[in-house]
């Protein structure tokens, strides 16, 4: 977060609510040009070191001194329902468990194999599935916080595809899982895809996953993540489709506790600026007034040539973003990542519209009570050492933010001294709410797959996070980590 401090970053009563001071922006810019402390581990919880798991003895992560971890739900291990743990561990959330001292995790699987492919599939024969050939879905884990043992582990939704991220339902009643694709029958599937599905917290059990029913009014597009405003029930949605401008959406449900009853889908627009390009040329801390334009056809017949949700919104002046991914509700607002936004470029070639990818941005949307709200760019990466391709994000119980890197750049190699032999290394980056700077918290030293699904146990004692692994095979495997340590000695 560079030189933006805790007050200006996370409150509506500080600098962001009244306009960021010139001095703050000047300090921010100066640090962004010269600072390299984030890559050294000199801040946050101190230097990182290669660390072995407590339960398998493998060196998979580099962590600060005093932190330890165990591996849960590795791809291929049998679950309680007899199904092998699927591949491609992605977005996730943690809820109170059904037993004392337990936590319940609902985890996405971004499986990208072909229709009906058995390897790594999320599948329970005979269950109620949206698409009989679907390979994606979710699994649920019940974990004992005292020793990290998995009490129960099972498929909780199947019959979907490319389940990337999602978000918590209103009232923590469960998880909204999102398909990051708009494939359909023309691609070999039985049904159209590109939807959001509900996974109830209670109900699914080993051998009895929830019925997968698409919430079509919430839009058909390459969904990434969602965040729900607990005051209104509005659901904010991010879009991640490479090669073209993406939108940031808002769904206003008729009944916030029954999303199947439909509602209105809208795209964010900067007031008075049709087609405003948020991808580059932005000033950190500047306040952009927002209005919302309606998506008239949220479930377009893409196979028949109907315009996409993004095209509909952009035609009405909607704002352009690049690869919107992680999304989280915190401190009365929505924080979301633009994985490849920004002026500092990563070297990859331009998309279809000529935009050249950057190292990433973190945005904040503050809902308005009497208007459309306000959009603020709170951080933009000046280079790969500070932050490279932020994907999922989460708020910590103590007020910090954790960002999961998804560095798949083909042009800009990103080695790390703690991960010899790896070209594109992914990290967990913390944003310090006191000093306002990014810092390394963890490094994936096992392979080059991304981190995903970071979330804290309800009591704040354990950080759960996924290592994606492969999305099309069992190697490298997906893993879920449970990390514990002296959180209160640092900014997270």
Contact partners, residue 147, CB within 8 Å, separation at least 6: none
Q: Domain for residue 389, yes or no?
A: yes
Poorest-pLDDT segment among 1-5, 43-47, 244-248: 1-5
Within a domain: residue 204? yes
pLDDT band at 23 (very low <50, low <70, confident <90, very high): very low
Distance, CA of 201 to CA of 172 (rounded, Å)? 8
At residue 40, the pLDDT reads 43
Residue 163 located in a structural domain:
yes
In this predicted structure, what is the pLDDT of residue 44?
92
Peptide bond into 476 cis (omega under 30): yes
- Using the predicted structure, report yes or no on whether residue 2 has a pLDDT greater than 70: no
Look at residue 392 and tell me whether its pLDDT is greater than 60: yes
Alpha-carbon distance of 84 to 119, in angstroms, equals: 10
The first and second tokens of residue 486, run together, are: 């002296």
Q: Which residue has the higher pLDDT, 433 or 233?
A: 233
pLDDT in tens, 300-351: 999 999 999 999 999 999 999 999 999 999 989 999 999 999 999 988 878 7
Q: Using 50, 70 and 90 to split pLDDT, how confident is the model at 19?
A: very low
pLDDT at 5: 32
Strands 68-72 and 59-64: unpaired
Over residues 43-67, the mean pLDDT reads 96
Widest CA span of the chain, in angstroms? Answer: 63
Average pLDDT over the chain reads 90
pLDDT at 352: 78
* Residue 1 included in any domain: no
What is the C-alpha to C-alpha distance for residues 175 and 306, in angstroms, rounded to an integer? 30
- Per-residue pLDDT of 76-135, as tens digits, reads 999 999 999 999 999 999 999 999 999 999 999 999 999 999 999 999 999 999 999 999
State pLDDT tens for residues 263-286.
999 999 999 999 999 999 999 999
What per-residue confidence (pLDDT) applies to 8? 34
Confidence of residue 409 (pLDDT cuts 50, 70, 90): low
CA-CA distance, 192 to 96, in Å (whole number)? 34
- Number of domains making up the chain: 1
Q: How confident is the model at residue 13 (pLDDT cuts 50, 70, 90)?
A: very low
pLDDT attached to residue 335: 97
Structural domain range at position 55: 6-489
Does 66 score more than 60 pLDDT? Answer: yes
- Measured CA to CA in angstroms, residue 32 lies from 4, 336, 341, 379, 387 at distances of 11, 20, 16, 10, 11
Assign residue 397 the CATH number of its domain. 2.120.10.30
Look at residue 21 and tell me whether its pLDDT is greater than 70.
no
pLDDT at 348: 83
Instruction: For residues 93 and 480, give the distance between their C-alpha atoms in angstroms, rounded to a whole number.
Output: 12
pTM for the full model?
A: 0.92
Give the pair of three-digit tokens for residue 303.
């196979």
Region 135-159: what's the mean pLDDT? 97
Between the alpha carbon of residue 461 and those of residues 35, 192, 225, the distances in Å are 31, 41, 24
pLDDT top residue among 404 and 331:
404
Q: Looking at residues 201-207, what average pLDDT do you find?
A: 96
Residue 17 pLDDT > 70: no
Question: In the structure, what pLDDT confidence band is assigned to residue 370 with cuts at 50, 70 and 90?
Answer: confident
pLDDT at 410 over 90: no
462-467 and 479-484 as β-strands: parallel, antiparallel, unpaired? antiparallel
- Residue 116's CB: how many other CB atoms inside 10 A? 15
Query: How confident is the model over 45-50, as a mean pLDDT?
Result: 97
Mean pLDDT throughout 183-200? 98
Residues listed for the chain: 492
């Amino acid at each position: 977060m560079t030189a933006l401090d805790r007050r200006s970053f996370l409150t509506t009563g500080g600098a962001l609510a009244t306009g960021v001071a010139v001095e703050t922006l000047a300090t921010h810019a100066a640090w962004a040009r010269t600072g390299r402390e984030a890559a050294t581990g000199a801040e946050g919880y101190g230097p990182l070191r290669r660390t072995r798991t407590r339960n398998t003895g493998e060196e998979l992560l580099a962590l600060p001194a005093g932190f330890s971890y165990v591996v849960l739900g590795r791809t291929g291990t049998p679950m309680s329902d007899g199904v092998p743990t699927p591949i491609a561990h992605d977005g996730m959330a943690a809820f109170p468990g059904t037993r004392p001292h337990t936590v319940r995790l609902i985890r996405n699987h971004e499986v990208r194999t072909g229709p009906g492919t058995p390897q790594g599939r999320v599948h329970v024969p005979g269950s109620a599935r949206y698409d009989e050939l679907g390979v994606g879905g979710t699994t649920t884990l019940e974990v004992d916080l005292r020793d990290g043992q998995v009490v129960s582990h099972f498929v909780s939704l199947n019959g979907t595809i490319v389940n990337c991220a999602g978000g918590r339902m209103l009232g923590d009643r469960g998880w909204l899982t999102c398909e990051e694709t708009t494939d359909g029958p023309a691609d070999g599937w039985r049904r159209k895809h590109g939807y959001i599905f509900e996974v109830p917290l209670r109900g699914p059990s080993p051998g009895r996953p929830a019925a997968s029913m698409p919430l079509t009014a919430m839009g058909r597009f390459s969904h990434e993540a969602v965040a729900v405003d607990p005051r209104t029930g509005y659901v904010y949605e991010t879009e991640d489709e490479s090669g073209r401008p993406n939108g940031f959406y808002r769904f206003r449900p008729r009944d916030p506790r029954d999303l199947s009853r439909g509602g209105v889908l809208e795209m964010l627009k900067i007031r008075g600026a049709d087609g405003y390009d948020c991808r580059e040329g932005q000033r950190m801390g500047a306040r952009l007034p927002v209005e919302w334009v309606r998506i008239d056809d949220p479930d377009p017949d893409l196979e028949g040539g109907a315009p996409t949700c993004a095209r509909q919104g952009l035609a009405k002046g909607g704002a352009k973003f690049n690869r919107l991914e992680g999304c989280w509700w915190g401190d009365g607002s929505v924080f979301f990542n633009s994985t490849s936004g920004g002026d500092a470029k990563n070297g990859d070639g331009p998309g279809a519209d000529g935009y050249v990818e950057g190292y990433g941005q973190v945005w904040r949307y503050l809902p308005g009570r009497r208007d459309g709200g306000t959009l603020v760019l709170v951080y933009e990466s000046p280079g790969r050492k500070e932050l490279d391709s932020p994907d999922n994000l989460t708020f910590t119980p103590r007020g910090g933010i954790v960002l999961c890197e998804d560095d798949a750049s083909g042009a800009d190699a990103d080695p790390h001294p703690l991960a010899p032999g790896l070209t594109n290394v992914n990290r967990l980056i913390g944003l310090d709410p006191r000093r306002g700077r990014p810092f390394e918290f963890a490094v994936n030293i096992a392979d080059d797959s991304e981190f995903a699904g970071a979330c804290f146990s309800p009591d704040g004692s354990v950080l759960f996070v996924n290592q994606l692994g492969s999305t099309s095979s069992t190697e490298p495997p997906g893993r879920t980590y449970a990390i514990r340590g002296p959180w209160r000695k640092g900014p997270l």
